[in-house]
Amino acid sequence: MDWPDRELSRRDFLKIMGAGAAAALIPGCISMGARHPVRIDGSGTVYPLAMFVARRFHDEYPDPVEISLGTSGTGGGFSKFAEGETHFNNASRPITQSELERCKQNDIEPIEFTLTYDGIVVVVNKNADWVDHITLDQLNNIWKPEGYAEKWIEVNPEWPERKFELYGPTAASGTFDYFTESVVGKRGSSRRYSGFENHNYNVQAVRQQKYSMAYFGFRYYYNNKEHLKALPVDAGDGPVEPNFDTILTGEYQPLRRPVYTYVNRDSLKQKQVRDFLKFYIQTTASEDVQQVGYVAGGEELEKHNLEKLNQILEELGVE
């Protein structure tokens, strides 16, 4: 397996206590004090969505509750989830068989809920005026692990004779897994590049370097679109721009993907966990999430998720 040149993981926690308390980010330490906290980790792509929902939950939930929200990447989060350290793992790809086996060894039964849909956006510097779209073959030529293009001109003779400066998520990220499988053809297979789990660092790197390229979830582009240039992707039927509509309809292929949360089935016996999950499902279905750059899951997905949740709660004998 090929890995990014360097990796940076950042863990932040959201502490939400009491009806009158303000939500606060607690970097570098675990929130303490609540008898029954809700513990969430996982995908950096899903993290801002979970933060948005957690703040709403704080404002609307009648009982005091503490939410510990971290971001270790999809894979890193599943490692913690499998050890019983968290109630939820947010994921930008489905759980793998090996991750399922690790959960099973510890008597943890992960239940999958599709929250909404996301697009992986390929971005370049705002001043990269030589490129206005990119094909899948060109992306493969840039990101494949061997025989890759070192310079822009090697991909297109009309592009500059300058080296690529490449950025993206770390190898623990579900975005890394999905992008490499979709573009290179093999999950986890990539040339070396500078990898950061916090996608805001990738945004800043592309803003500052004219000959750079990066990929990350749509939300990070949407919230920085005045400073970045998104490349429409041509998968064979012409370039398709990433936006709310093309992601929701599935037109933006092959870089459109579902995003998930996984909950430990046994954790749903705890009232605060099942209350948060229900709120999570309902909030991500609404167009309110577009405020933070996410596609709304919609009524049909919400209905499916709530029916699934209610069936599980009935089996557990709780409401």
What domains lie within the chain, and their CATH numbers?
14-117+257-316 (3.40.190.10), 118-256 (3.40.190.10)
- Classified as helix, coil or strand, 122 is strand
**Token code pair at residue 159:** 């592009």
**Whole-angstrom distance, CA of residue 89 vs CA of residue 69:** 10
H/E segment holding residue 24:
strand 24-25
24-25 and 14-15 strand pairing = antiparallel
Phi and psi at residue 96, in whole multiples of 5°?
A: -90, 165
Report which of 118, 119, 143 is spatially closest to residue 232, judged by C-alpha positions: 119
Q: What's the pLDDT at 166?
A: 98
Report which of 202, 205, 207 is spatially closest to residue 220, judged by C-alpha positions: 202
Q: What's the pLDDT at 35?
A: 56
DSSP label of 149: -
- The CA radius of gyration of the chain, in Å to the nearest whole number, is 20
**Whole-angstrom distance, CA of residue 239 vs CA of residue 144:** 21
**pTM (2 d.p.):** 0.82
Q: What's the pLDDT at 15?
A: 37
**Whole-angstrom distance, CA of residue 190 vs CA of residue 125:** 21
pLDDT one digit per residue (tens) for the chain, 319 residues: 344 544 333 333 333 333 222 233 323 233 434 457 899 999 998 999 999 999 999 888 877 789 999 999 999 999 999 999 999 999 999 999 999 999 999 999 999 999 999 999 999 999 999 999 999 999 999 999 999 999 999 999 999 999 999 999 999 889 999 999 999 999 999 999 999 888 899 999 999 999 999 999 999 999 999 999 999 999 999 999 999 999 999 999 999 999 999 999 999 999 999 999 999 999 999 999 999 999 999 999 999 999 999 999 999 999 8
Q: Where are the alpha helices (DSSP H) in 33-106?
A: 47-60, 73-82, 97-105
**Token code pair at residue 68:** 């510990």
Exposed (0-12), middle (13-18) or buried (19+): which is 71, by Cβ within 10 Å?
buried
H/E segment holding residue 91:
strand 88-91
Q: Are 288 and 60 in contact (CB under 8 A)?
A: no
Q: What's the pLDDT at 27?
A: 30
DSSP label of 62: S
**Whole-angstrom distance, CA of residue 81 vs CA of residue 41:** 8
Q: Are 120 and 217 in contact (CB under 8 A)?
A: yes
**Whole-angstrom distance, CA of residue 198 vs CA of residue 296:** 23
CA 43, 45, 48, 53 torsion: positive or negative?
Answer: negative
- How far is residue 269 CA from its own chain's centroid? 27
**Whole-angstrom distance, CA of residue 16 vs CA of residue 270:** 18
Q: What's the pLDDT at 24?
A: 30
Find tokens 């909404």 and name the residue: 116
- Classified as helix, coil or strand, 245 is helix
DSSP label of 63: S
Q: Give the number of other Cβ atoms within 10 Å of residue 27's Cβ.
A: 8
